[in-house]
């Protein structure tokens, strides 16, 4: 089933997942394509970004952004073409970065849209290395992590949209970079394609020992994307005055209860105290929206120079978005996960 | 038993405590008073500071500073008089801030000594409001906590050496200040003498509800001195973008094992992430030694103006130091705990 000009397919939230989301938590609905009124434009989705934070939107637990209501269309960033326009600022065929969610079409009054350069080689990069994930990697690493040349930086989800950029920027800054990823293929790619110094497979039961061996001088910056057993392996290796930007905790997003005891939060706090560690959560546009231009300038340059590489994992068809998203939470993607909603 | 000119009493570490220290973990030894050689001076202890961090020195767990060896004299900051001198920089009778530990006499070559103004009204203040605890309060609150006028600052151990200063500085900066302390007398003092807006008794079983009621706009800065159930009450009240300087964790210093489960460290990390919280441990002289002058200038001014008050809890006699220290870990002191080792 492909995109048409007459129907608007929407992936709606059918039920709040208990633990791991399943196909039954999503519902593919079909409605009429809306019509742009005065001052409005109609957007046609070409690319939809799938990101771990969406798991939080499926839940009704309090978080930094509102939940998706049951029966509502799943939210998400998109790269769209303007399909029709009654808005003076946008013409038919314009590429825009939008937040129209898991659907084919959406109306807009132009608020929150970013026009994309029509000469962009890959418009989908606006959802990845030049968009939220890349910006997240850049600010989290450079502003909170503040790596210095010669320091050791560890990043989990090392071939993911954020982790792959974190590690490559850290290499540009002269650090030793150790990735953690799921599987031999991803680890090989992190070292051979992305230039990391080492990458450890978190499926290996000797994760803690392997990580320690890969970090002979300890860890100065740990960019936290995952939590869980990876963080457990990292914690004892953190150096005095280490920095831990907390960007994501994908290993615990599907959890339905806290892990069994003992309660290790006192151990975590003691480690922060005795090693003088800074641990800081951040939400990229809330904390750093005003610094987007410096990121865009640096990253465009690095991409143009071939200093940063970026891999996309593209899934075809909106109807495949739920399964792709479920796989994302299990680490099945290899690179930035994007749904190609329509050929263009 | 009082200080003499012929014997050097030393409180030595007799055994590593298991859980709460007991009198048997200390040993009061008597040795000869050492004699200053060329380039040396002999220091006579007048005041000895007792501080929670000393519990860590009694343990052989890895920490930010070395353990005291079994049989060695307990470490600690002291205010001393120069008793004899063969050092050109020091004269008999000079007051100095030193780190000579729990004993009557010690030799020095001058390294690490700070001469005190002979006109100081209270030389013991060099161990408190004008020394490490005051400096800790100042930098932890202002540099990591970064409170803004109108924000809510919560500080535990609210009448202690650090907490009392944290709260008063926060008041000077225009914040709402809520203390947490053990017992009605301390809470009354925090409000009536120190000027806090409210103070909650942590013995009250409704601690969490009382703290929530005292912080109707949530908590923007939590200055962490204690951990344990106080932190549990604070965590759900932390606001978006809150700051948590981690200065001490006295509630867990005597613990022999982690608390029972569930493991709440994922909850802590999730809260840091979704609320974009900065949590940071610090060790005052390691992190901020270079900024002592700005502290000394501000604090001297505030004391001279009566804008900061400081209470000392003075125990007489070196032989009473162990019991006083055990009480400190149980919250029995009321104000900065100081041992008057000798009359002067």
Domain match, B150 and B87 both: no
Mean confidence (pLDDT) of chain B: 96
Within a domain: B32: yes
Within a domain: A299: no
- pLDDT band for B118, please (50, 70, 90 cuts): confident
Mean pLDDT of A154-183: 97
- In this prediction, residue A285 carries a pLDDT of 86
C-beta atoms of B263 and A266 within 8 A = no
- pLDDT band for A1, please (50, 70, 90 cuts): low
Interface test with B, best of A281, A282, A288 (most B CBs within 10 A): A281
- Indicate whether A65 pLDDT > 90: no
Give chain A's domain count. 2
Domain match, B110 and B203 both: no
Domain match, B187 and B277 both: yes
Within a domain: A117: yes
- In this prediction, residue B215 carries a pLDDT of 98
Domain match, B220 and B268 both: yes
Minimal Cα–Cα distance from A336 to chain B, Å? 21
Nearest CA in chain B to A248: B273
Domain match, B209 and B164 both: yes
- In this prediction, residue A272 carries a pLDDT of 97
The string of pLDDT tens digits covering residues B229-261 is 999 999 999 999 999 999 999 988 888 899 998
The string of pLDDT tens digits covering residues A216-269 is 999 999 999 999 999 999 999 999 999 999 999 998 888 889 999 899 999 999
Beta pairing, strands A26-32 & A7-13? antiparallel
Lowest mean pLDDT among A27-31, A89-93, A258-262: A258-262
Domain match, A157 and A278 both: yes
The string of pLDDT tens digits covering residues B124-183 is 999 999 999 999 999 999 999 999 999 999 999 999 999 999 999 999 999 999 999 999
Report H helices in chain B. Answer: 54-57, 132-139, 163-172, 184-192, 207-214, 228-234, 265-274, 284-288, 292-304, 321-329
Minimal Cα–Cα distance from A35 to chain B, Å? 37
C-beta atoms of A258 and B255 within 8 A = no
The string of pLDDT tens digits covering residues B297-317 is 999 999 999 999 999 999 999
Domain match, A139 and A258 both: yes
C-beta atoms of B277 and A281 within 8 A = yes
Q: What backbone phi and psi angles, to 5 degrees, belong to B42?
A: -105, 125
What is the share, in percent, of chain B residues with pLDDT greater than 70? 100
Minimal Cα–Cα distance from A258 to chain B, Å? 6
Domain match, A204 and A226 both: yes
Mean pLDDT of B15-21: 95
Mean pLDDT of A307-318: 97
CB A339 within 8 A of CB A312: no
Within a domain: B296: no
- Higher-scoring residue by pLDDT: A261, B214: B214
The ipTM is 0.92
C-beta atoms of A280 and B277 within 8 A = yes
- Indicate whether A66 pLDDT > 80: yes
Mean pLDDT of A318-332: 97
The string of pLDDT tens digits covering residues A10-20 is 999 999 999 99
B305 touches chain A (CB under 8 A): no
- Indicate whether A276 pLDDT > 80: yes
Domain match, B143 and B272 both: yes
Can you give the CATH number for the domain in which B143 is found? 3.40.50.720
Q: Among B249, B269, B285, identify where a domain stops.
A: B285
Within a domain: B273: yes
Domain match, B147 and B268 both: yes
- In this prediction, residue B1 carries a pLDDT of 67
Range of the domain at B30: 7-128+311-340
Domain match, A153 and A123 both: no
The 3-state secondary structure of chain A reads: CCCCCCEEEEEEECCCCCCCCCHHHEEEEEEECCCCCCCCEEEEEEEEECCCCHHHHHCCCCCCCCCCCCCCECCCCEEEEEEEECCCCCCCCCEEEECCCCECEEEECCCCCEECCCCCCCHHHHHCCCCHHHHHHHHHHHHHHCCCCCCEEEEECCCCCCHHHHHHHHHHCCCEEEEEECCHHHHHHHHHCCCCCEEEECCCCCHHHHHHHHCCCCEEEEEECCCHHHHHHHHHHEEEEEEEEECCCHHHCCCCCCCCCCCCHHHHHHHHHHCCCEEEECCHHHHHHHHHHHHHHHHHHHHHCCCCCCCEEEEECHHHHHHHHHHHHCCCCCCEEEEECCCC
Can you give the CATH number for the domain in which B51 is found? 3.90.180.10
Domain match, A212 and A319 both: no
């Amino acid at each position: 089933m492909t995109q048409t000009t007459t129907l608007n397919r929407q992936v709606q939230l059918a039920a709040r997942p208990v633990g791991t989301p399943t196909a039954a938590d999503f519902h593919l609905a079909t409605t009429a394509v809306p019509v742009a009124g005065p001052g409005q434009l109609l957007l046609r989705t070409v690319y939809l970004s799938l990101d771990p934070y969406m798991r939080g939107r499926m839940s009704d637990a309090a978080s930094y952004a509102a939940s998706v209501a049951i029966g509502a269309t799943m939210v998400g960033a998109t790269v769209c073409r303007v399909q029709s326009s009654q808005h003076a600022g946008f013409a038919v065929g314009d590429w825009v970065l939008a937040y129209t969610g898991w659907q084919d079409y959406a109306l807009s009054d132009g608020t929150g849209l970013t026009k994309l350069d029509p000469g962009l080689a890959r418009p989908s990069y606006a959802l990845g290395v030049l968009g939220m994930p890349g910006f997240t990697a850049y600010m989290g690493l450079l502003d909170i992590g503040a790596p210095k040349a010669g320091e050791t930086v560890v990043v989990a989800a090392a071939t993911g949209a954020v982790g792959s950029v974190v590690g490559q920027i850290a290499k540009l800054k002269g650090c030793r970079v150790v990735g953690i990823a799921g599987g031999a293929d991803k680890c090989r790619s992190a070292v051979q394609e992305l230039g990391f110094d080492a990458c450890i497979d978190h499926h290996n039961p000797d994760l803690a020992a392997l990580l320690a061996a890969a970090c002979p001088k300890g860890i100065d910056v740990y960019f936290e994307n995952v939590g869980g057993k990876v963080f457990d392996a990292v914690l004892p290796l953190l150096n005095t005055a280490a920095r831990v930007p907390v960007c994501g905790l994908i290993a615990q997003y599907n959890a339905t209860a806290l892990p069994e005891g003992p309660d290790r939060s006192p151990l975590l706090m003691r480690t922060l105290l005795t090693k003088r560690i800074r641990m800081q959560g951040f939400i990229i546009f809330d904390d750093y929206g005003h610094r987007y231009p410096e990121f865009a300038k640096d990253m465009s340059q690095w991409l143009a120079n071939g200093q940063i590489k970026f891999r996309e994992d593209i899934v075809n068809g909106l109807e495949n978005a739920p399964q792709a998203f479920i796989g994302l939470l299990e680490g099945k993607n290899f690179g930035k996960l994007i749904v190609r909603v329509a050929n263009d």
